[in-house]
Amino acid sequence: MNSEPTEKQTATTVLFEYPLQENIRTFMRLEYLFKQFRRNSLASNADNHLYCLKVLFEILEILERGDSRSELIKELSRLLDYFKALEANPEVDSSKLANFLKQIKQLHQWIHAYAGKFGESLRKSPFIVAVKQRTNIPGGSCQFDCPELHLFLSRPHQQRQNQLTSMVEDIKGVETSVEVILRLIRDTGQWSLQKAPMGSFMIETTDRTFKLLRIKTTIEGELFPEFSCGKHRSSVHFMTFNERHKKMPVQKEIEFELACCF
């Protein structure tokens, strides 16, 4: 479930997203973590800034994988080809298209020019190394275990916030690339009203390789979808909770909105 919806939701609906490719799964995890980092860095409480550091460690672990750079380059290259092909279409807004192409080209160049693995200098920072080692231990972030962290959290709010911002400046291009890629993929999906007889629904994917499934349901029913995805088709099974909070399949027709993104 995407607990941080990427578009404005009404009070009566909830958005679920399911990635159909491994690189999109990684991008969505990074998107979630970067949003958590930015949101908590704005808070004045020192505990929020401690959480920021823990989120940053997760971001760095994902980026340490050797395929992060190649996956971003591959997806940005695909988008470049897609939008270049639209240049000959007279129905496309040429100014918006030019802006898309300019932004994607800049990100593509930034990734190619980046030296080493993403976040390598940050990963080797003595402060990051010390804090990461201690916070991996239960209770290891207390002041006698990690005085470096205690000093950081004792600083004024604005000073802490500025330091956190400077930490992620080196990988801001990754954050922006992920944001642009996922936004453009989501924009390819057209919402349609669907019905799931007895709580189950089949999606055929033989005509086009989809990257992401998006589902909106009403929140009153306390429903959530479970996905079973294969190469040629994907299944959605709606679940709910019984009085003992054990999940169970829904056995009635469910109306929902579906968008398949490529």
The DSSP H or E segment spanning 205 is: none
State the average pLDDT for the chain. Answer: 91
Contact indicator for 238, 194 with CB cutoff of 8 Å: no
Report the C-alpha gap between 147 and 160 in whole angstroms. Answer: 15
Distance between CA atoms of 60 and 38, rounded to whole angstroms?
A: 15
Q: How many residues does the chain have?
A: 262
Confidence (pLDDT) at 207: 65
Q: Hey, what are 13's tokens?
A: 């609906």
Percent of the chain with pLDDT over 90: 79
Give me the pLDDT at residue 37, please.
Answer: 98
**CA 257 to the chain's CA centroid:** 21
The DSSP symbol for 65 reads S
Please work out, in degrees rounded to the nearest 5, the angle formed at the alpha carbon of residue 198 by the alpha carbons of 193 and 204: 55
Measured CA to CA, the distance from residue 51 to residue 37 in angstroms comes to 8
Listed as own residue / partner, the contacts of 3-10 with beta carbons closer than 8 Å and 24 or more positions apart are 3/32, 4/32, 4/35, 4/36, 6/31, 6/182, 6/183, 6/186, 7/186
CATH number (3.40.640.10, 3.20.20.100, 1.10.3900.10, 1.10.580.10) of 22-186 reads 1.10.3900.10
Using an 8 Å Cβ cutoff, are 18 and 227 in contact? yes
Average pLDDT for 239-256: 92
Q: Residue 239 and residue 222: Cα distance in Å, rounded?
A: 9
Q: How far apart are CA 136 and CA 186, in angstroms?
A: 35
- How far is it, in rounded angstroms, from Cα 79 to Cα 101? 9
Residue 230 or 164, more confident: 164
Tell me what pLDDT residue 5 has.
Answer: 47
Strand positions, DSSP E, the chain: 13-19, 192-196, 200-204, 212-218, 224-229, 233-241, 247-249, 254-261
CA 254 to chain CA mean position, Å: 27
Intervals of CATH 1.10.3900.10 along the chain: 22-186
Q: State both tokens at 87.
A: 């240049």
Give the Cβ contact number of residue 190 at 10 Å. Answer: 9
3.90.380.10, 2.60.440.10, 3.40.50.1370, 3.40.1390.10: which CATH number matches 189-261? 2.60.440.10
In sequence order, the 6+-apart residues with CB closer than 8 A to the CB of 140 are 133, 134, 146
Q: Where in the chain is the domain with CATH 2.60.440.10?
A: 189-261
The pLDDT tens digits of the residues spanning 8-66 come to 544 578 999 999 999 999 999 999 999 999 999 999 999 999 999 999 999 999 999 86
3-state class (DSSP) for residue 259 = strand
